[in-house]
Amino acid sequence: MPIVDIHTHVYPPSFMDLLRSRTAVPYIRTFPPDTSSRLIILPGEDAPSNPSTSRGRPIGPDYYDISKKIEFMDKHHIDISVISLANPWLDFLPSNEAGPIAERVNNEVNELCNQYPGRLFAFGALPLSASREVIVEEIVRLSEMKYVKGVIMGTSGLGHGLDDLGLDPIYEALQEHRLTIFLHPHYGLPKDVFGPRVSDYGHVLPLALGFPLETTIAVTRMLLSGVWDRFKTLNVLLAHSGGALPFLAGRIESCINHDSHLLNARKSGGQRSIWDILKNNIYLDAVIYSHIGLKSAVDASGSDRVMFGTDHPFFPPLDTHGDSWPSVQMNYRAIQDAFDGNPKAAEDVLGDNAVRILKLSF
């Protein structure tokens, strides 16, 4: 049985150069006298009012040296990784630069996979600030690349969120070329919602809550705008086990069913429920750090639709001498605890689902 990590990020070398050349978020710099580099990617992460997190996080070879990815995989018994560009992807690029940079970065990522055939596959990145024609051309190009099995995407879309009708040509092309969207948060929630003490708590509120809540809102907006009524076979893999979607799906359905306008539209248009979409269009990763959330994800989508992931190179051990990463151990243990007495389902989640769903052969 192979173990497959479908949630694992990389900044390929040319993207590192790009981040190093910039002075606004996202960027990389050193703060002398410290000689190590810091990665600053989150909105507001370098605001002077936020001293405790104003220097982002340390960035080392784990982020860009693919041999480090393989080392990490070996250490954690991972056979195959489906790598993806880390956030904020290409969202921030000026329109005219996005197309060529996407091409270069995607080629580079595909080439990284080619260095370790059979061990690496990839989600491509889209030049979402470019024209729709350029985006669709890149989708077609990605669909022909040997190791690319989908695209990673944030929640901003073309700038107005994923319920924007302007995305329809993109969704159509992705559906047509059978590329799964790996939907990943980045923008979080406005800092104010976390209150005046937010910086006392480091990154916990934006990362532990802002990220999954952003995903939950984005996917609910997709549902409400009828994305899956128009694109019935569009597949979306949700980061962090869907944010909080499996837990909140019942409340979402109840709220729709108690709104006469929406309910009538649903009845007359045959619109699909979130439960239907969870079972037929949504995949969930297993990056949830607890068997409790994982069981809920499996109950919502099925053990044939949930896939192991690590979020490497984020959440590295605080103790750098450790052998195995606690963040990875937690997610392994969650699978073990969730499927106690059902080793087949555990194997599905650990790797078999990813091989089947993403067609990991070449």
Q: List residues near a second copy by CB under 8 A.
A: 52, 160-161, 163, 189-190, 192-197, 200-205, 207-209, 212-214, 216-217, 220-221, 224-225, 240-241, 244, 246-263, 288-293, 295-296, 299-300, 315-316, 318, 326-327, 330, 334
Shortest distance, position 240 Cβ to a second copy, whole Å: 7
Cis check: omega of the bond before 190, within 30 degrees of 0 = no
Residues near 306 by beta carbon (within 8 Å), at least 6 away in sequence: 241, 283, 284, 285, 286, 294, 297, 298, 348, 349, 353
Backbone angles phi, psi at 301, to 5 degrees: -110, -20
Decide: 181 and 239 in contact? Cβ < 8 Å. no
Shortest distance, position 212 Cβ to a second copy, whole Å: 6
d(CA 297, CA 286): 8
d(CA 64, CA 78): 18
Nearer Cβ to a second copy (252/360):
252
d(CA 270, CA 264): 10
d(CA 330, CA 337): 10
d(CA 228, CA 276): 10
Task: State both tokens at 144.
Answer: 């022909």
Query: Kindly report the CA angle at 63 between 62 and 66, in degrees rounded to 5?
Result: 70
Nearer Cβ to a second copy (151/286):
286
Nearer Cβ to a second copy (180/301):
301
Nearer Cβ to a second copy (124/185):
185
Shortest distance, position 160 Cβ to a second copy, whole Å: 6
Shortest distance, position 330 Cβ to a second copy, whole Å: 6
Nearer Cβ to a second copy (31/362):
31
d(CA 212, CA 243): 4
Strands 27-30 and 37-40 turn out to be antiparallel
Nearer Cβ to a second copy (82/245):
245
Shortest distance, position 311 Cβ to a second copy, whole Å: 10
Shortest distance, position 210 Cβ to a second copy, whole Å: 9
Shortest distance, position 117 Cβ to a second copy, whole Å: 33
Shortest distance, position 51 Cβ to a second copy, whole Å: 12
Nearer Cβ to a second copy (99/188):
188
Strands 180-183 and 148-153 turn out to be parallel
Nearer Cβ to a second copy (145/224):
224
